[in-house]
């Protein structure tokens, strides 16, 4: 196993955010954590990347216990993260942002830079533009590209679809598949469960700080409970959290055939869900 998360507990003050999460990510996989707001997805990622300290439990990466390792050293060990809300450096240009991604490394980064520009041609067009003046989609591309500059073994992505227009969500997800195809393991956190399950190999369902289900992603797409809670299909079953907690699900679920699409369908970009309930439509950058 490349990454083993072993019964971790994390607290914000006295409030327990994670109450014993265990998960595994094998080399070459795309693994996704899905769940409602407050389920602990982001906290799990932050704990893996070292931004949050553990209360108990352990995290092993490439066979080594990294539970006590500070965040900046985990980058060198091979964990790269694109943080929630993108975390682009607003005053730095696109190229400076990307070079910051390689901060921990020494040597020549022109090869990685060229690769990122190839994955995201839009970034190449905007090399010298300040990161803060870019649209939401471009910032997301920049955040992912920046994380890739460190040549991570595993790439942690925190809600890459957040606030993006449907068309752009498709594009980002197909790029994630491409990144994985080129050999980077991906741990993906998403509220957009149907999209995430379509590209992932395996998935964990999180609820109030615990893992309630783990299975191959394709199985979860058909799971009646998951469909009821996260994909908006049928009300016959309930998983702990009522469906209203994830309001975007109702809008996201397309016709049944949509959800049963073969894995990787998103990568082709042919199937577009009718509505993907973007929260901030005005950030669609396709026009700019």
Summarize as ranges the residues that interact with another protein (CB under 8 A): 49-51, 70-73, 75-76, 80-81, 83, 85, 87-92, 100-101, 103-105, 130-133, 135-136, 146-147, 150, 282-283, 285, 288
User: Rounded to whole angstroms, how far apart are CA atoms 234 and 270?
Assistant: 25
Contact 251, 276 (CB under 8 A): yes
Which residue in 212, 243, 208, 211 sits closest to 229, CA to CA?
243
Shorter beta-carbon distance to another protein: residue 187 or 228: 187
From residue 185, alpha-carbon distances to 11, 20, 30, 53, 225 in Å are 27, 23, 6, 23, 28
Distance in Å, CB of 245 to another protein, minimum = 23
Distance in Å, CB of 69 to another protein, minimum = 12
Contact 218, 48 (CB under 8 A): no
Shorter beta-carbon distance to another protein: residue 70 or 234: 70
User: Rounded to whole angstroms, how far apart are CA atoms 212 and 246?
Assistant: 17
Distance in Å, CB of 242 to another protein, minimum = 29
Residues 6 or more apart in contact with residue 122 via CB below 8 angstroms: 138, 141
Distance in Å, CB of 132 to another protein, minimum = 3
Distance in Å, CB of 93 to another protein, minimum = 9
Tokens for 65, please give them: 């216990």
Shorter beta-carbon distance to another protein: residue 172 or 241: 172
Shorter beta-carbon distance to another protein: residue 50 or 232: 50
Shorter beta-carbon distance to another protein: residue 80 or 273: 80
Distance in Å, CB of 130 to another protein, minimum = 4
State which H helix or E strand residue 123 sits in: helix 121-125
* Neighbouring C-beta atoms of residue 242, cutoff 10 Å: 12
Shorter beta-carbon distance to another protein: residue 73 or 127: 73
Q: In the chain, helix, strand, coil percent, each to 5? A: 40, 25, 40
């Amino acid at each position: 196993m490349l990454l083993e998360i072993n019964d971790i507990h994390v607290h914000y003050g006295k409030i327990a955010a994670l109450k014993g999460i265990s998960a595994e990510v094998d080399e070459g996989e795309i693994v996704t954590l899905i769940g409602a707001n407050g389920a602990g997805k982001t906290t799990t990622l932050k704990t893996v990347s070292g931004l949050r300290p553990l209360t108990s439990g352990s995290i092993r990466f490439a066979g080594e216990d990294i539970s006590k390792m500070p965040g900046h050293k985990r980058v060198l060990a091979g964990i790269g993260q694109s943080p929630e809300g993108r975390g682009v450096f607003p005053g730095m240009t696109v190229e400076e942002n990307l070079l910051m991604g390689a901060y921990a490394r020494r040597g020549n980064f022109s090869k990685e830079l060229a690769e990122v520009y190839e994955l995201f041609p839009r970034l190449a067009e905007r090399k010298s533009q300040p990161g803060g003046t870019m649209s939401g989609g471009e910032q997301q591309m920049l955040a992912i590209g920046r994380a890739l500059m460190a040549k991570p073994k595993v790439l942690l992505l925190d809600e890459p679809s957040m606030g993006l227009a449907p068309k752009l969500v498709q594009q980002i997800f197909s790029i994630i598949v491409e990144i994985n195809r080129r050999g980077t393991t991906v741990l993906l956190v998403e509220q957009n469960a149907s999209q995430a399950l379509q590209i992932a190999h395996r998935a964990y369902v999180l609820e109030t700080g615990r893992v309630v289900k783990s299975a191959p992603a394709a199985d979860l797409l058909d799971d009646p409970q998951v469909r009821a809670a996260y994909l908006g299909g049928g009300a016959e079953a309930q998983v702990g959290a009522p469906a209203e907690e994830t309001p975007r699900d109702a809008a996201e679920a397309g016709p049944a055939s949509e959800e049963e699409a073969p894995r990787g369908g998103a990568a082709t970009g042919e199937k577009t869900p009718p509505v993907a309930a973007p929260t901030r439509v005005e950030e669609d950058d396709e026009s700019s």
